[in-house]
Amino acid sequence: MGRRILVAEDEALAAMAIEDELLREGYEVQLAPDGEAALEAAREAMPDLLLTDLRMPRLDGVGLIRALREMAPGLPVVVMTGYAPAGGAAAFRRDGEGPVALFPKPLDMDAVLAELRRLLDG
Amino acid sequence: MPFSTALPLPAAAAPAMCLLPDPAAIWLHVLSDGAIGLAYLSIPAALLVVLLRRRDLAFPWLLGLFALFILACGSTHLVHAYAAFRPMPWGEALVKAVTAAISVVVAVTLWPVLPRILALRSPAALAREVEERRNAEVRARASEARLAAFINNLAEAVFVLRIGADGSFQIESVNPAFERMLGLDAASVVDRRPEEVLPSALVAQALPRWRQAAAQGRTLDYEIGVELPAGRRSWQTVLVPMRGPDGRVERLLGSARDITATRRLQAGLVQSARLATVGTMCAGLAHEASQPLNTATLWLRRARASAEPLAAAQRTVLLRAVAVVEDQLRRAGDLVARIRGLAGDEPDGGEAFDAAVAVGAALRIAGTQYAADGIDFALHADEQPLGVRGSAGRLEQAVLQLLANARDAVVERRLAEPDAPARIDVFLRREAGRVVVEVRDSGQGIAEAARDAIFDPFFTTKPPGRGVGLGLPFAAGVARGMGGGLEAWNLATGGACFRMELAVCEAAGPAGRLAASPVAA
């Protein structure tokens, strides 16, 4: 059975393209248009990995990561953002012990897919 | 024996004596007159001696008149004594008449002079005055000593310039702060012309101001920035003209304050404020631009994937179009990444590291990259570790930007002047609690018009296609993120100096030992 990835991204067109790529890689994908929707989806079924934007309506990426890490401290997280947080990936380290990878937008999708493989299969 | 037989009796004919029958009385008269006469002769002689020895007497002529008066009185007594033996009624009368005349003249002259004589100060008053003056002198000397101590301990550099008849200047005196500020000995500059002993860059800027103050005779306030061996210094100076008795400006009194730190702080604040505004805009732009770029990039991958089933000819055309668009998107994406890098904050403080290691690495890269340009790169570094805090990679990138900028300036100048020197010197040192990285080039220098804008993002003096104007803003951002700043100025010898200042971090790791050494030719 494929690993499940929760994608929180408010740009619908970008989310569609990402979903496409992930499905082709054989992952199960759940899309959420903002942090709040992602949190609700995770409450129903905790994903194996969170792929999230930082700037989103209702609940932003930082809040979402914190909330999910409270439920699943070891959850691996991949952040895609156009606005790199101060301190880089280290900024999320205190929110849990799971690995965090950071990718700036525009995304280098090959690099993202490689990182997903490393985190989920490695 | 009767008295009259013992002494020859003066002539009975002496009419004045005829009323004195007793010869003893007559003799007493004669002897007394003789004694008085002789005494009266001696007194004017004494007065004459006083008159000759003390030329500073008040009313000397009065003393002479008294001498004459006493002399005349003495003569009447002597003539009277003589007349006891040989009566001479007319002679005696004439002498007495002359004496009378002199007496009257003295008496008449004395009264009008009396108030002036009384107005003369008494010796006691004079002594008092002398004492007062002595005290005043002691006070003046103490006050002068206090003033000298004040000037000697003043933080401001004080100097006095003497103005010659031809308008040239000569240094008359300087205080210890002046010696310290310029690293010069007072003995080596006093009585010399400023052009001979002061740094030429300083004289070139200051001399016109001195001439102006001397010509206008008005207080003048000016500010100069000078490149000295110890680094760049800014001074604010007040010049006060000092006039001689004839009203001509004879001297200039100058006091100069070192405002290097203030100016640097101000420049840093202005730069920060400017970059904060521009930085906010850049960050917003980077974020907003990254979203559509991201979506476009992702969809382009889908388009490429969907080209697979197409016929070969169509696929080639489509894939070529995809490649072109992808390349352009990548360019836009790189630009967004660079703009994002301008922010430069290190809120976590980053890591502690030795700045010399990062600067050395940047120099090695530049040396290799620009090996074909024939530029001499040299590193002049203190041997102590230069601990700083931040990102070593970003500092290395920032120094690389400064080196690239210096290299471009050198190459540009050589296009116009093929024989111009081609040097880039990097200085690394600790200065007043800061780590300083200076990149000095022998290039064309910074154009005056560009001076204020060189740290603004997207400002560039390079031809289109050669840099977008993000290198220096990035370096400035890195320096600010590491608790310092970046400033630039032109060198007196030609070329420019970029000075990066970073906050010191004592807890740096072990340093690579670095000394002045050519890195690459």
Name the minimum distance, in Å, from the CA of A81 to any CA of chain B. Answer: 8
Measured between CA atoms, the residue of chain A closest to residue B306 is A20
Residues of B with CB under 8 A from a CB of A: 283, 286-291, 293-299, 301-302, 305, 329, 332-333, 336-337, 340, 343, 345-348
The sign one gets for the Cα dihedral B447, B449, B452, B455 is negative
Model confidence, pTM: 0.57
CATH of residue A68: 3.40.50.2300
Residues B333, A106: C-beta atoms closer than 8 Å: yes
What pLDDT sits at residue B521?
A: 33
Chain B residue with the nearest C-alpha to that of A104: B337
DSSP 8-state secondary structure symbol assigned to residue B516 = S
Range of the domain at B240: 154-258
Shortest CA distance from B339: residue in chain A: A83
pLDDT tops 50 at residue B518: no
On average, the pLDDT of chain B sits at 83
Q: How far is B158 from chain A (nearest CA, A)?
A: 49
Which residues face B387 on adjacent strands?
B354
| pLDDT at A88 (0 to 100) | 62
Residue A105 is predicted with a pLDDT of 84
Structural domain includes residue B488: yes
Nearest to B295 among A17, A84, A104 (CB): A17
B26 & B110 share domain? yes
Contact residues, chain B, for A87 at CB < 8 Å: 346-348
Which residue type occupies B213?
A
Cβ within 8 Å of residue A109, ≥6 positions away: A18, A21, B297, B298, B301
| In a shared domain, residues B76 and B207 | no
In a domain, B395, yes or no: yes
How much is the pLDDT for B455? Answer: 81
Cα-flanking dihedrals φ and ψ of residue B14, to 5°?
A: -60, 115
DSSP state of B184: -
| Claim to verify: residue B253 and residue B278 sit in the same structural domain | no
Cβ contacts of B25 within 8 Å, gap of 6 or more: none
CB contact (8 A) between residue B301 and residue A21: yes
Q: Which helix (H) or strand (E) holds A80?
A: strand A77-81
Residue B238 domain flag: yes
User: Which of A17, A82, A109 lies nearest to residue B286, judging by beta carbons?
Assistant: A82
pLDDT at B511: 42
**Distance from the A21 Cα atom to the nearest Cα atom in chain B, whole angstroms:** 8
Has residue B175 been placed in a domain?
yes
Distance from CA of B294 to the nearest CA of A (A): 4
Q: Tell whether B346 is covered by a domain.
A: no
Q: Which of A13, A21, A83 sits opposite B295 (nearest CB)?
A: A13
Residues B59 and B106 reside in one and the same domain: yes
Distance separating alpha carbons of residues B444 and B426, to the nearest angstrom: 17
Give the pLDDT of residue B6. Answer: 47
B330 with B277, same domain: the answer is yes
- A90 to chain B: which residues are within 8 Å by CB? 348
Tokens read off for B289: 């631009």
Query: Which H or E run includes B278?
Result: helix B260-306
Of A16, A20, A105, which to mutate for an interface test with B (greatest number of B Cβ within 10 Å)? A105
Same domain flag for B216 and B71: no
Cβ-based contacts of B332 with chain A (< 8 Å): 106
Residue B243 is predicted with a pLDDT of: 92
Output phi, psi for B240, to 5 deg.
Answer: -120, 120
Residue among B76, B50, B73 at smallest CA distance from B63: B50
- Integer Cα distance of B170 and B173 in angstroms: 9
Total number of domains constituting chain A? 1
Say yes or no: B200 and B316 in one domain. Answer: no
- Rounded Cα distance between B493 and B445, Å, is 10
* Alpha-carbon distances, residue B93 vs B62, B79, B97 (angstroms): 26, 10, 6
- Would you call B336 and A82 a contact, using CB atoms and an 8 Å cutoff? yes
pLDDT in tens, B467-501: 777 888 888 888 888 888 888 888 877 889 999 98
How confident is the prediction for chain A on average, in pLDDT? 85
How far is B359 from chain A, CA to nearest CA, in Å? Answer: 22
pLDDT tens, B382-434? Answer: 777 888 888 888 888 899 999 999 998 898 888 888 888 888 999 998 887 88
Residue finishing a domain among B323, B341, B359:
B341
Q: What are the beta bridge partners of residue A78?
A: A51, A101
Whole-number pLDDT of residue B19 = 60
Residue of B nearest to A13 (CA): B295
* % residues pLDDT > 70 (chain B): 90
Alpha carbon separation from A9 to A98, B235, B276 (Å, rounded)? 21, 57, 29
pLDDT at A86 over 70: no
- Average pLDDT, integer, range B245-249: 89
Last residue of a domain, one of B213, B232, B258: B258
Task: Give the pLDDT confidence of B92-137 residue by residue, as tens digits.
Answer: 899 999 999 999 999 898 898 888 888 888 888 889 999 999 999 9
Parallel, antiparallel, or unpaired for β B376-381 and A100-104?
unpaired
**Same domain assignment for residues B187 and B90:** no
Mean pLDDT over B1-30 rounds to 61
pLDDT at residue number B438: 92
- ∠ at Cα B500 (B156, B411), nearest 5°? 115
Question: What is the predicted pLDDT for the residue at B100?
Answer: 93
Taking 60 as the threshold, does the pLDDT of residue B83 lie above it? yes
3-state secondary structure of B233: strand
Q: Say if residue B329 is exposed, middle or buried (CB neighbours under 10 Å; 0-12, 13-18, 19+).
A: middle
Q: What is the per-residue pLDDT for B13?
A: 43
pLDDT of residue B512: 38
* Inter-chain touch B301–A109, beta carbons under 8 Å: yes
For residues B220 and B107, membership in a common domain is answered with: no
Domains held by chain B: number? 4
Three-class SS state of B363? helix
Closest of A120, A103, A93 to residue A18, by C-alpha: A103
Q: Give B231 or B239, the one with higher predicted confidence.
A: B239
Confidence (pLDDT) at B2: 47
Kindly state whether residues B388 and B479 are assigned to the same domain: yes
By CA distance, what is B289's nearest residue in A?
Answer: A82
Query: At B100, which amino acid appears?
Result: A
Show which of B308, B341, B374 is a domain's final residue.
B341
Cβ separation B289–A107 shorter than 8 A:
no
For residue A57, what are the domain limits? Answer: 4-121
β-pair type (B220-228, B231-243): antiparallel
Residues B220, B321, single domain; the answer is no
pLDDT reported for residue B20: 60
Q: How many CB contacts within 8 angstroms connect chain A with chain B?
A: 71
Question: What pLDDT, on the 0 to 100 scale, is given for residue B188?
Answer: 92
CATH code for the domain in which residue B219 is found:
3.30.450.20
What are the beta bridge partners of residue B500?
B437, B486
Position B347 pLDDT exceeds 50: no
Looking at chain B, which residue has its C-alpha nearest residue A110?
B301
pLDDT at B253 over 50: yes
**Residue B37: inside a domain:** yes
Instruction: Give the closest residue to B29 by CA, choosing from B78, B68, B89.
Output: B78
Question: Which of B455, B398, B428 lies closest to B275, judged by CA?
Answer: B455
- Shared domain for B336 and B387, answered yes or no, is no
Q: Which of residues 30-49 of A touch B (CB under 8 A)?
A: none
